[in-house]
Amino acid sequence: MPDTRIMPAEWSQDVASVLMAYPHENTDWAYMIDEARSCFNEIIKCIVEQAGLTVVIATPDSQATRKLIPDLPKNKVFFVDVPTDDTWARDFGPITIEENGYKKFIDFQFNGWGLKFASANDNLINLRAKESGAYSLTLENQRSFTLEGGSIESDGLGTILTTSECLLSPNRNGGKTREEIEESLKHILGAKRILWLNHGYLAGDDTDSHIDTLARFANENTILYVKSYIERDQHNEELEEMECELRNFRTADGQPYNLIGLPLPDPIYDENGERLPATYANFLITPKTILLPVYNQALNDQLAIQMMKIAFPDHEIIGIDCNALIRQHGSLHCVTMQMHAGATAIC
């Protein structure tokens, strides 16, 4: 691929829309469908009203879904009628790259986080959306490679941050070596260098340690990451090892990163006593706002908000209660995928 190919950073100012997939009765949300839809509706409202972006919603039935979103803003929500298995748009949605000054979508293989969950419909959402005319950008077929959007972070300058636990999973790309994975990321995304985290995890996470649950770029030289301030928490050793790795990373020009340690939320458990993977690292960056998942933990929520204000001084920080989302082991970033101006038929 030409050297001009690059994966834009999430904070790119020409983001115009966000892809989501709405919960329906045939998803794993069925047993708590009203709670899930209430959370999705709040996210949609914030994307439209606070962030000023358009929402593109994948749904099997747009007419029925339209009735479930109260006060639907006219001309700001666009529906794509496609079958869906679930709602994790970050992982099956198209990944944007820029080449020779033009944006295009990359369509990777999505196999349910290493064959853990049904994914036949979600794996085809991008292709079907393109065929329906919903996507305006070229859709480049890279479906011989399995990759989820939540597994990679880009600084917009050629650096990709990821985890070895996820990208080296044998159920994703057949046991390819680290070197082979790096070559694919360089070839497809225009990456110039890969920063690998070999430590860090969240109990209850089904993704094999997606980077967007653990560490995120705030800008080219700042990384926000999950840090346990809890005495004797099960995550402490791994998160401390991850922090050491982050301290040893350098920017492309050889400088250490500015590191901001987001608090690990106090433990939250499901009805079976399983710990859920709550994290403040799963935020969405838009040109005007940061949509931050919060968990009704006054001290931790406020601390996370204050840290986000330090990292993003020009953005409004908006907390959205995501206790419903973590019941299915994901959070706010996981259900959204940003798309740039001209990416869809309406924006």
| Phi and psi at residue 309, to the nearest 5° | -65, -35
Decide the pairing of beta strands 95-99 and 102-109.
antiparallel
- Residue 2 pLDDT: 47
Amino acid at 124: L
| pLDDT at 269 (0 to 100) | 97
Which residue in 89, 99, 49 sits closest to 69, CA to CA?
Answer: 49
Q: How many other C-beta atoms are found inside a 10 Å radius of the C-beta of residue 144?
A: 9
In this predicted structure, what is the pLDDT of residue 75?
87
Q: Band the pLDDT of 1: cuts 50, 70, 90.
A: very low
Contact 318, 46 (CB under 8 A): yes
Residue closest to 46 by CA, chosen among 33, 34, 55:
55
β-strand partners of 180 = none
**CB under 8 Å to 183, separation ≥6 — which residues?**
none
Q: What pLDDT shows up at residue 71?
A: 84
Burial 45-57 (b: 16+ CB within 10 A, else e): bbbbeebebbbbb
pLDDT digits (tens, 9 = 90+) for 146-204: 999 999 999 999 999 999 999 999 999 987 999 999 999 999 999 999 999 999 999 99
- What six digits make up the tokens of 326? 């973590």
pLDDT band at 70 (very low <50, low <70, confident <90, very high): confident
**So what's the pLDDT on residue 346?**
67
DSSP state of 20: E
Distance, CA of 226 to CA of 319 (rounded, Å): 17
User: What tens digit of pLDDT does each residue of 6-30 get?
Assistant: 999 999 989 999 999 999 999 999 9
| Percent helix, percent strand, percent coil in the chain, to nearest 5 | 30, 25, 45
Residues 271-296, mean pLDDT to the nearest whole number: 97
Distance CA 183, CA 194 (A): 10
State yes or no: pLDDT of 37 exceeds 60: yes
The residue ranking higher by pLDDT, 73 or 21, is 21
Percent of the chain with pLDDT over 70: 98
- Tokens 């920063």 belong to residue: 195
Mean confidence (pLDDT) of the chain: 96
Q: Is 90 exceeded by the pLDDT of residue 73? A: no
Length of the chain: 347
Q: Which of 239, 242, 255, 264 is nearest to 161 (CA)?
A: 242
Q: What is the Cα–Cα distance from 281 to 201, expressed in whole angstroms?
A: 12
**pLDDT value of position 3:** 60
Judge whether 9 and 156 are in contact, CB under 8 Å: yes
**Mean pLDDT of the region 128-153:** 97
| One-letter amino acid for residue 244 of the chain | C
Give, in order, the Cα–Cα distances in Å from 138 to each of 121, 151, 324.
21, 23, 35
Q: How many CA atoms, within 13 angstroms, populate the side-chain half-sphere of residue 59?
A: 22
E strand residue ranges, 137-288: 139-146, 152-154, 159-163, 193-197, 215-219, 222-227, 258-263, 284-285
Whole-number Cα distances in Å, 34 to 23, 101, 325: 9, 43, 12
Contact 142, 190 (CB under 8 A): no
Which pLDDT tens digit goes with each residue over 318-341?
Answer: 999 999 999 999 999 999 999 999
Instruction: Please tell me the predicted confidence (pLDDT) of residue 4.
Output: 86
